[in-house]
Copies of this chain bind each other. A is one copy, B any other.
Amino acid sequence: MRLVVATCSVDYQGRLQAHLPLATRLIMVKADGCVAIHADGGAYKPLNWMNAPNRLVEGDGTWTVTNDKGERLTITMTEVHSDTSVELGRDPGLEKDGVEAHLQELLAADVTVLGRGWRLVRREHPTDIGPVDLLCRDAEGAAVAVEVKRRGEIDGVEQLARYLERLALDPSLRPVRGVLAAQVVKPQARVLAESRGIGWVELDYDALRGVERAEMTLF
């Protein structure tokens, strides 16, 4: 990784046009070639950047970074305050827990959390516009499509509604109803869901995990 502190102006031309007036900034060049220009604030997002793969040409006080999509980043430096490189090596990567995929796993392991007597037919049940998170049958044997979210918002309801439209075309599933399952279901999402005849349920992640742990201990 190369770290350059320089007084510079920057121009980006590609998906939009953007210009940074002259100021002192940090320019980070990673091993994969990506370039990021950071100010001393504004969370982790750089002011400007160019992802890999790209080509970096260092000219006289000007760096030009281009890629195959026709994007171009031009850094014009009036003064370079420091220019250091450091070898970091390959990173073992981030281990996550508590994202939607995990929530879906926990639910799939015991869909009776959603309703007494329910059973799982299939995870990631395919439709022609994308996969439904969980396809279940309720105690009466009726099909239920479940959309799992960390946060239940309007777009989750829309997504489920689109799937329901498709699933309803399959005679073996009809009639099919939908349930939005999330740790939190926002008020707007509740309103929209109810107005479309879609159910919703809030999940307790820690309890789900506790249930799983208890069962793993049991067997």
Write the residues of chain A forming the contact surface with B, with a CB cutoff of 8 angstroms.
1, 3, 5, 15-26, 28, 30-32, 34, 36, 38-49, 51-52, 81-82, 84, 86-99, 129, 154-155, 158, 162, 188, 192
B contact residues around A86 at 8 Å (CB): 5, 26, 81-82
Copies in the complex: 2
Report the minimum CB–CB distance from A28 to chain B (whole Å).
Answer: 7
With both beta carbons as reference points, the residue of chain B lying nearest to A51 in the complex is identified as B43
Contact A94/B40 with A5-B86, A23-B89, A158-B158 known, Cβ cut-off 8 Å = no
Greatest chain B CB density within 10 A among A43, A87, A93, A154 is at: A43
In angstroms, Cα B42 to Cα A129, docked, is 29
CB pairs A–B below 8 angstroms (14 shown):
A3-B26, A15-B98, A16-B97, A19-B95, A20-B93, A24-B87, A24-B89, A25-B91, A30-B42, A39-B91, A40-B88, A44-B45, A155-B155, A155-B158
